[in-house]
Every structure is written in C-alpha cells, then in structure tokens.
Amino acid sequence: MQEEGVNRKIIHIDMDSFYAAIEQRDNPELRGKAIGVGGSGRRGVLCTASYEARRFGVRSAMPGFKALELCPHLILVPVRFEVYRSVAAQIRAIFGRFTEKIEPLSLDEAYLDVSHWRSDSESIAREIRSQILEETKLTASAGIAPNMLIAKVASDMDKPNGQYAVAAEQVDAFMHELPVSKLWGVGKKMQEKLRQHGITLCGEMQKLDKIAMSRRYGRWGIELYDLCRGLDPREVKVHRVRKSISKETTFSEDLRDVLALVPSLRRLLEEVKEAYGGQYSDREIKSLVVKLKFADFTRTTIERATHEIDSVLAESLLYEGFERGAGKAVRLLGLGVRLAEEEDEKQLEMF
C-alpha cells in the first residue's frame, strides 16, 4: 500500500447495459439480439437496451412504440428488479475485496477509492472487471482518474468491456479536448447555448473567467467553470450518517410526457428501497421526496410525510411536481426519503 498524502486513485465501475445483459445471460435465445427491458405497451418506456438495439438508436427512457419504430425486430423484455438487485449484491461483494471505500450510484455503477494500494489503479480495475466477468458472466467498463468527475467521464470512453485511465499529469490535456457534452448536466439545450457562443470543447470554455461564466450562465456557469477544468474535490463517501437516501437520473432528451417518467420513477424507487434495506433499515422513514429539474434548469421538490417507501405516493408526488412545471419538459428526476432521528432544519437538500 502507498503512503498517505499522495494523489487519489479513483475507479468508476459501470456495468455494460446491465439489465439487458442479465436478460441475455439468463436466456440464450436473446443473446446477440436487439432487446429492450421494459417498454411493454404503447406508453411504456424502456429502462435500458442491449448494444445490438442501440445501433438502431434505441436507448433508455425511450417510449416502447418509438423504439419499435426505430428497430422493428426489437424484443421487449419485462423488468426483473429482484434479479438485478441480487446480481448487484454479487458485484458489490467483489468491490469489497479491494476497498472499503465504495460509493454506489445505482445498481449498475459505483465509485471505488483504491488510493491505499501500491499497485497501479489500472491493474486493480482490470482485476475487478475480470472477477466480475468470471463470477457473473457480465462485462463492466471502468474509468480510472485522480477524482470522481474524470473517472466517471473516462468509464464511458471505452465501452463496452473496456477501461480508460487519465493520470494526474494528463488531466489538463484530457479536459482541454473533452466535448462539453461529456460534462454532467450539459444536455442538448445547454450544448446549443454553448455552441452559439462558440464553445463545443472544454478547452474553449476554459478561456472564460468566472465572472464571464456567471454572467452568461448564472450559478450553473460557476459550476461549469470548475467542471471544464476537471476540478472535483469530492471524496468517495461510505458509512456516513445520513439525513436522507436519494437517487436521481438525467434523461438524454428532455421528456414532456409525465407518463414517460413513471418507469424511471419506479426504477429509482427500487434503488432507494435497496439502499434503505441494505444500510439504513434501523432508521425510521419520515417522508418521501420527489424532485424534478426542468429543461430551463428550474426545479421543484415535493415532500410528504410517510413511514414507508410507497409507490402510489411517489407517483402522486411526481404528478404534482409535473403540474407545477406547467408543461415544461423534464431533464432530471430524483426520488428519496428523509430519515428520522435528525433535526428538521430546512427543506430537504438530499440531491
């Protein structure tokens, strides 16, 4: 193991098309075929799609009917959350062989801090992926970097079944040529706004100072100032005393139909249930929260008192939040619970 005080070694592991890959693993007839998980019925929405389907433009959060228009031979498969959770537990057990510093983001991805290892982080990531493949018959991709921001970006650079490393001395060059679309929170509308100002790469954004960024893009501009430089002081957090548990998802395209949000809400509900049952089941639930961020970056948060993670209440809060948006398209959906034994201070800041 290495001495304290050196650069951090962060690995972001992202399973490849997790739900679809499990379905193909468990059903040999689906292997090599275009499948979509979820999306049953005309108004149903896909949770994910296999890589064979993605070649036709099929993607997560897409209505099933649209996916079938793009890929008529697409096979729609119902979701099996119990199976996905069981496999996710296997994978997290593998992570635990390498580090105690694990921060899961969802069932299919997590940050790992392996700074305590003397071994190079690329070798560690390769071994983790190898053990996942051997024990679950599923592939994973990895990003390796000095911080969480760059590790997550890097994990998408060599998908599927690959890994990409950015060393500390490579950060400046890596960020300079990185498309702004790779930064979290920069959707299509923000990309277009930046493009109008001649900005498509992080290096072009770096030419603006904080004042200019703030004037052009408000508070979000100040955050972008750090993001485009690859600056991220966050640490991988585990076993912390939490006031809340939350999960969220950002859509690749803004959604204008509240029904299109329901499958994602249900998936987030299952992930929150898993997180609560895994570490916090001894803490009573005080309230349920749904958060919506709209295409114009305004947001609304709806909270209701409850002692359980209730799907009916969650959908009710979703509809109420959507109505508050007065028809605005939704770019991000979040769901969470507030836990008891904490002081009721201010509006929940879990996201």
Distances (CA, A) of 172 to 1, 167, 168, 255, 317: 27, 10, 8, 35, 43
Give the integer Cα–Cα distance in Å for 328 and 325.
5
Give the integer Cα–Cα distance in Å for 65 and 105.
29
Q: In 3D, which of 74, 60, 51 has the Cα closest to residue 106?
A: 60
DSSP-H helix ranges across 250-331? 262-279, 311-324
Beta strands in the chain (DSSP E): 10-15, 35-38, 46-49, 75-77, 102-106, 109-113, 140-145, 163-165, 244-255, 285-294, 299-305, 330-339
Taking 3-state DSSP, the helix, strand and coil percentages for the chain, each rounded to the nearest 5, stand at 40, 25, 40
Structure tokens belonging to residue 237: 């957090």
CB distance 13 to 127 below 8 Å: no
Is position 109 annotated as part of the catalytic site?
yes
Structure tokens belonging to residue 132: 């996942």
The helix/strand/coil state of 124 is helix
CB distance 161 to 20 below 8 Å: no
Distances (CA, A) of 87 to 70, 81, 136, 249: 30, 10, 7, 21
- Per DSSP bridges, beta strands 285-294 and 330-339 are antiparallel
Give the active site residue among 23, 52, 103, 109: 109
> Which residues have a catalytic role annotated?
109
